[in-house]
Structure 1
Protein backbone atom coordinates (compact mmCIF):
# COMPACT_ATOMS: atom_id res chain seq x y z
CA UNK A 1 0.00 0.00 0.00
CA UNK A 2 1.31 3.40 -0.88
CA UNK A 3 1.39 6.25 1.56
CA UNK A 4 0.22 9.79 0.99
CA UNK A 5 2.33 11.16 3.83
CA UNK A 6 4.16 14.45 3.36
CA UNK A 7 6.20 16.34 5.96
CA UNK A 8 3.34 18.79 6.65
CA UNK A 9 0.56 16.19 7.05
CA UNK A 10 -0.82 14.87 10.30
CA UNK A 11 0.32 11.34 11.08
CA UNK A 12 -3.15 10.46 12.36
CA UNK A 13 -4.82 11.69 9.17
CA UNK A 14 -2.29 9.86 7.01
CA UNK A 15 -2.92 6.72 9.06
CA UNK A 16 -6.67 6.96 8.47
CA UNK A 17 -6.11 7.45 4.74
CA UNK A 18 -3.75 4.46 4.57
CA UNK A 19 -6.21 2.34 6.56
CA UNK A 20 -9.42 3.26 4.72
CA UNK A 21 -8.19 3.90 1.17
CA UNK A 22 -8.00 0.25 -0.02
CA UNK A 23 -11.38 -0.79 1.44
CA UNK A 24 -13.65 0.83 -1.20
CA UNK A 25 -11.80 -1.01 -3.96
CA UNK A 26 -12.85 -4.28 -2.37
CA UNK A 27 -16.47 -3.21 -1.91
CA UNK A 28 -16.80 -1.84 -5.45
CA UNK A 29 -15.06 -4.86 -6.99
CA UNK A 30 -17.36 -7.22 -5.10
CA UNK A 31 -20.38 -5.21 -6.30
CA UNK A 32 -19.08 -5.44 -9.87
CA UNK A 33 -18.65 -9.22 -9.54
CA UNK A 34 -22.16 -9.53 -8.08
CA UNK A 35 -23.53 -7.55 -11.03
CA UNK A 36 -21.84 -9.95 -13.44
CA UNK A 37 -23.18 -12.94 -11.52
CA UNK A 38 -26.67 -11.41 -11.71
CA UNK A 39 -26.41 -11.17 -15.51
CA UNK A 40 -25.88 -14.92 -15.74
CA UNK A 41 -28.17 -16.09 -12.95
CA UNK A 42 -31.05 -13.54 -12.86
CA UNK A 43 -31.25 -14.07 -9.11
CA UNK A 44 -32.40 -10.79 -7.56
CA UNK A 45 -30.36 -11.32 -4.38
CA UNK A 46 -27.14 -10.63 -6.31
CA UNK A 47 -28.17 -7.15 -7.39
CA UNK A 48 -29.50 -6.35 -3.91
CA UNK A 49 -26.19 -7.41 -2.40
CA UNK A 50 -24.37 -5.30 -5.00
CA UNK A 51 -26.41 -2.25 -4.04
CA UNK A 52 -25.50 -2.70 -0.37
CA UNK A 53 -21.83 -3.13 -1.24
CA UNK A 54 -21.92 0.10 -3.25
CA UNK A 55 -23.45 1.96 -0.31
CA UNK A 56 -20.86 0.60 2.14
CA UNK A 57 -18.08 1.37 -0.35
CA UNK A 58 -19.34 4.94 -0.70
CA UNK A 59 -19.54 5.48 3.04
CA UNK A 60 -15.95 4.35 3.46
CA UNK A 61 -14.61 6.00 0.26
CA UNK A 62 -15.71 9.51 1.17
CA UNK A 63 -13.72 9.68 4.43
CA UNK A 64 -10.22 9.25 2.90
CA UNK A 65 -11.09 11.62 0.06
CA UNK A 66 -12.07 14.36 2.51
CA UNK A 67 -8.85 13.85 4.48
CA UNK A 68 -6.91 13.74 1.23
CA UNK A 69 -8.61 16.94 0.08
CA UNK A 70 -7.22 18.76 3.10
CA UNK A 71 -3.79 17.12 2.78
CA UNK A 72 -3.30 17.76 -0.92
CA UNK A 73 -5.17 20.93 -1.69
CA UNK A 74 -5.69 23.07 1.41
CA UNK A 75 -2.98 24.94 3.24
CA UNK A 76 0.07 22.81 2.49
CA UNK A 77 3.17 24.63 1.42
CA UNK A 78 4.77 21.32 0.46
CA UNK A 79 4.17 20.66 -3.26
CA UNK A 80 2.32 17.42 -3.96
CA UNK A 81 3.27 15.24 -6.89
CA UNK A 82 1.06 14.89 -9.92
CA UNK A 83 0.56 11.21 -9.01
CA UNK A 84 -1.14 12.15 -5.74
CA UNK A 85 -3.34 14.71 -7.48
CA UNK A 86 -4.28 12.26 -10.24
CA UNK A 87 -5.09 9.67 -7.57
CA UNK A 88 -7.33 12.20 -5.83
CA UNK A 89 -9.22 13.19 -8.99
CA UNK A 90 -9.65 9.61 -10.25
CA UNK A 91 -10.94 8.53 -6.84
CA UNK A 92 -13.28 11.53 -6.64
CA UNK A 93 -14.64 10.72 -10.11
CA UNK A 94 -15.12 7.10 -9.04
CA UNK A 95 -17.10 8.29 -6.01
CA UNK A 96 -19.33 10.45 -8.21
CA UNK A 97 -19.93 7.53 -10.58
CA UNK A 98 -20.67 5.30 -7.58
CA UNK A 99 -23.32 7.73 -6.36
CA UNK A 100 -25.06 7.44 -9.74
CA UNK A 101 -24.54 3.68 -9.58
CA UNK A 102 -26.24 3.56 -6.17
CA UNK A 103 -29.26 5.35 -7.64
CA UNK A 104 -29.35 2.90 -10.56
CA UNK A 105 -29.12 -0.06 -8.17
CA UNK A 106 -32.08 1.30 -6.21
CA UNK A 107 -34.33 0.55 -9.18
CA UNK A 108 -35.94 -2.76 -10.04
CA UNK A 109 -33.42 -5.58 -10.45
CA UNK A 110 -34.15 -6.04 -14.15
CA UNK A 111 -33.46 -2.33 -14.81
CA UNK A 112 -30.00 -2.49 -13.25
CA UNK A 113 -28.26 -4.69 -15.79
CA UNK A 114 -26.92 -2.49 -18.57
CA UNK A 115 -26.19 0.76 -16.74
CA UNK A 116 -25.27 -0.75 -13.37
CA UNK A 117 -22.69 -3.13 -14.79
CA UNK A 118 -21.19 -0.38 -16.94
CA UNK A 119 -20.88 2.05 -14.03
CA UNK A 120 -19.51 -0.68 -11.75
CA UNK A 121 -16.90 -1.51 -14.38
CA UNK A 122 -15.90 2.15 -14.77
CA UNK A 123 -15.61 2.64 -11.00
CA UNK A 124 -13.41 -0.42 -10.54
CA UNK A 125 -11.26 0.54 -13.52
CA UNK A 126 -10.81 4.13 -12.29
CA UNK A 127 -9.84 3.04 -8.79
CA UNK A 128 -7.40 0.42 -10.06
CA UNK A 129 -5.75 2.88 -12.45
CA UNK A 130 -5.55 5.54 -9.73
CA UNK A 131 -3.91 3.23 -7.21
CA UNK A 132 -1.63 1.55 -9.75
CA UNK A 133 -0.25 4.80 -11.15
CA UNK A 134 0.28 6.18 -7.64
CA UNK A 135 2.11 3.05 -6.53
CA UNK A 136 4.30 2.94 -9.64
CA UNK A 137 5.20 6.64 -9.51
CA UNK A 138 5.99 6.54 -5.81
CA UNK A 139 8.07 3.41 -6.29
CA UNK A 140 9.99 5.12 -9.09
CA UNK A 141 10.51 8.22 -6.93
CA UNK A 142 11.64 6.05 -4.02
CA UNK A 143 14.07 4.21 -6.29
CA UNK A 144 15.54 7.48 -7.55
CA UNK A 145 15.98 8.78 -4.00
CA UNK A 146 18.26 5.86 -3.05
Structure 2
Protein backbone atom coordinates (compact mmCIF):
# COMPACT_ATOMS: atom_id res chain seq x y z
CA UNK A 1 0.00 0.00 0.00
CA UNK A 2 1.39 3.36 -1.00
CA UNK A 3 1.24 6.19 1.47
CA UNK A 4 1.21 9.83 0.49
CA UNK A 5 3.41 11.98 2.70
CA UNK A 6 3.02 15.72 2.60
CA UNK A 7 5.44 17.98 4.37
CA UNK A 8 3.35 20.44 6.33
CA UNK A 9 5.83 23.31 6.24
CA UNK A 10 7.34 22.85 2.77
CA UNK A 11 7.11 26.36 1.35
CA UNK A 12 7.75 27.37 -2.22
CA UNK A 13 10.73 29.60 -1.38
CA UNK A 14 13.70 28.82 0.81
CA UNK A 15 14.35 30.78 4.05
CA UNK A 16 17.01 33.18 2.68
CA UNK A 17 14.96 34.47 -0.27
CA UNK A 18 11.93 34.48 2.01
CA UNK A 19 13.61 37.13 4.16
CA UNK A 20 14.04 39.39 1.14
CA UNK A 21 10.54 38.62 -0.09
CA UNK A 22 9.06 39.50 3.27
CA UNK A 23 11.19 42.66 3.37
CA UNK A 24 9.57 44.07 0.25
CA UNK A 25 6.13 44.35 1.84
CA UNK A 26 6.96 46.87 4.60
CA UNK A 27 8.89 48.99 2.12
CA UNK A 28 6.09 49.18 -0.44
CA UNK A 29 3.45 49.50 2.30
CA UNK A 30 5.41 52.34 3.90
CA UNK A 31 5.62 54.05 0.51
CA UNK A 32 1.86 53.77 0.05
CA UNK A 33 1.25 55.18 3.52
CA UNK A 34 3.73 58.01 2.92
CA UNK A 35 1.99 58.80 -0.37
CA UNK A 36 -1.36 58.91 1.43
CA UNK A 37 0.13 61.23 4.04
CA UNK A 38 1.53 63.46 1.31
CA UNK A 39 -1.82 63.61 -0.45
CA UNK A 40 -3.45 64.70 2.81
CA UNK A 41 -0.84 67.12 4.23
CA UNK A 42 1.13 68.41 1.20
CA UNK A 43 4.43 68.15 3.14
CA UNK A 44 7.06 67.38 0.53
CA UNK A 45 9.10 65.25 2.92
CA UNK A 46 6.42 62.52 2.71
CA UNK A 47 7.04 62.29 -1.03
CA UNK A 48 10.80 62.07 -0.47
CA UNK A 49 10.29 59.38 2.16
CA UNK A 50 8.01 57.41 -0.19
CA UNK A 51 10.62 57.66 -2.92
CA UNK A 52 13.30 56.14 -0.68
CA UNK A 53 10.96 53.41 0.50
CA UNK A 54 10.15 52.46 -3.09
CA UNK A 55 13.86 52.13 -3.83
CA UNK A 56 14.29 49.96 -0.73
CA UNK A 57 11.42 47.76 -1.86
CA UNK A 58 12.99 47.45 -5.29
CA UNK A 59 16.32 46.36 -3.80
CA UNK A 60 14.69 43.69 -1.61
CA UNK A 61 12.43 42.64 -4.47
CA UNK A 62 15.34 42.36 -6.92
CA UNK A 63 17.22 40.02 -4.60
CA UNK A 64 14.12 37.84 -4.13
CA UNK A 65 13.54 37.93 -7.89
CA UNK A 66 17.09 36.75 -8.61
CA UNK A 67 16.54 33.78 -6.30
CA UNK A 68 13.20 33.07 -8.01
CA UNK A 69 14.80 33.14 -11.47
CA UNK A 70 17.48 30.71 -10.30
CA UNK A 71 14.75 28.44 -8.86
CA UNK A 72 12.97 28.42 -12.23
CA UNK A 73 15.76 26.21 -13.53
CA UNK A 74 15.30 23.59 -10.79
CA UNK A 75 12.77 20.86 -11.53
CA UNK A 76 11.89 20.36 -7.85
CA UNK A 77 11.08 24.04 -7.41
CA UNK A 78 9.00 24.16 -10.59
CA UNK A 79 6.96 21.28 -9.19
CA UNK A 80 6.40 23.30 -6.02
CA UNK A 81 4.79 26.13 -7.97
CA UNK A 82 7.61 28.61 -8.39
CA UNK A 83 6.36 29.82 -11.79
CA UNK A 84 3.27 31.78 -10.63
CA UNK A 85 5.28 33.14 -7.70
CA UNK A 86 8.07 34.34 -10.00
CA UNK A 87 5.63 35.93 -12.46
CA UNK A 88 3.77 37.85 -9.75
CA UNK A 89 7.04 38.92 -8.12
CA UNK A 90 8.30 40.16 -11.50
CA UNK A 91 5.04 42.09 -12.00
CA UNK A 92 5.39 43.68 -8.54
CA UNK A 93 8.98 44.65 -9.33
CA UNK A 94 8.02 46.20 -12.69
CA UNK A 95 5.23 48.19 -11.03
CA UNK A 96 7.81 49.29 -8.45
CA UNK A 97 10.13 50.51 -11.24
CA UNK A 98 7.34 52.61 -12.73
CA UNK A 99 6.50 53.83 -9.23
CA UNK A 100 10.11 54.94 -8.71
CA UNK A 101 10.02 56.79 -12.02
CA UNK A 102 6.75 58.42 -10.99
CA UNK A 103 8.26 59.54 -7.68
CA UNK A 104 11.24 61.03 -9.51
CA UNK A 105 8.95 63.75 -10.81
CA UNK A 106 8.38 67.06 -9.10
CA UNK A 107 6.49 66.66 -5.83
CA UNK A 108 2.81 67.16 -6.71
CA UNK A 109 3.32 65.87 -10.26
CA UNK A 110 3.68 62.38 -8.81
CA UNK A 111 0.13 62.45 -7.45
CA UNK A 112 -2.26 60.57 -7.75
CA UNK A 113 -0.42 58.09 -10.00
CA UNK A 114 2.30 57.57 -7.40
CA UNK A 115 -0.26 56.61 -4.76
CA UNK A 116 -2.08 54.28 -7.15
CA UNK A 117 1.15 52.56 -8.21
CA UNK A 118 2.18 52.19 -4.55
CA UNK A 119 -1.12 50.48 -3.72
CA UNK A 120 -0.81 48.18 -6.76
CA UNK A 121 2.74 47.29 -5.71
CA UNK A 122 1.52 46.44 -2.19
CA UNK A 123 -1.26 44.22 -3.55
CA UNK A 124 1.09 42.39 -5.93
CA UNK A 125 3.68 41.96 -3.19
CA UNK A 126 1.04 40.50 -0.86
CA UNK A 127 0.04 38.08 -3.61
CA UNK A 128 3.69 37.11 -4.19
CA UNK A 129 4.16 36.52 -0.46
CA UNK A 130 1.05 34.36 -0.36
CA UNK A 131 2.26 32.36 -3.35
CA UNK A 132 5.73 32.05 -1.87
CA UNK A 133 4.70 30.97 1.61
CA UNK A 134 1.81 28.69 0.74
CA UNK A 135 2.18 24.97 1.33
CA UNK A 136 2.21 23.15 -1.99
CA UNK A 137 0.51 19.78 -2.20
CA UNK A 138 3.02 17.62 -4.00
CA UNK A 139 1.67 14.27 -5.16
CA UNK A 140 4.04 11.43 -5.95
CA UNK A 141 7.84 11.21 -5.99
CA UNK A 142 9.91 14.12 -7.24
Q: 2:11 maps to what in 1?
A: 3
1:103-126 CA distance string (max 9 Å, x none):
110111111111101111111011
* 2: CA distance, partners of 1:100 / 1:58: 11
TM-score, normalisation: structure 1: 0.79
Larger Rg: 2
* 2: CA distance, partners of 1:68 / 1:35: 29
Please list every run of 5 or more consecutive structure 2 residues that lacks an aligned counterpart in the other structure.
1-8
Please list every run of 5 or more consecutive structure 1 residues that lacks an aligned counterpart in the other structure.
6-13
* 2: CA distance, partners of 1:87 / 1:21: 11
Residue 100 in structure 1 maps to residue 108 in structure 2:
no
* 2: CA distance, partners of 1:107 / 1:79: 40
Q: How many residues align?
A: 132
Higher helix share: 1
1:43-74 CA distance string (max 9 Å, x none):
00001000001011111210111111111x22
> Does structure 2 retain, via aligned residues, the 8 Å contact 1:4–1:18?
no
TM-score, normalisation: structure 2: 0.81
Counterparts of 1:90-129 in structure 2 under 5 Å?
A: 90-129=88-127
**RMSD between aligned residues:** 2.4
Counterparts of 1:62-101 in structure 2 under 5 Å?
A: 62-71=62-71, 73-74=72-73, 76-78=74-76, 80-81=78-79, 83-101=81-99
Q: 1:23 maps to what in 2?
A: 23
* Greater relative contact order (Cα < 8 A, sep 6+): 2
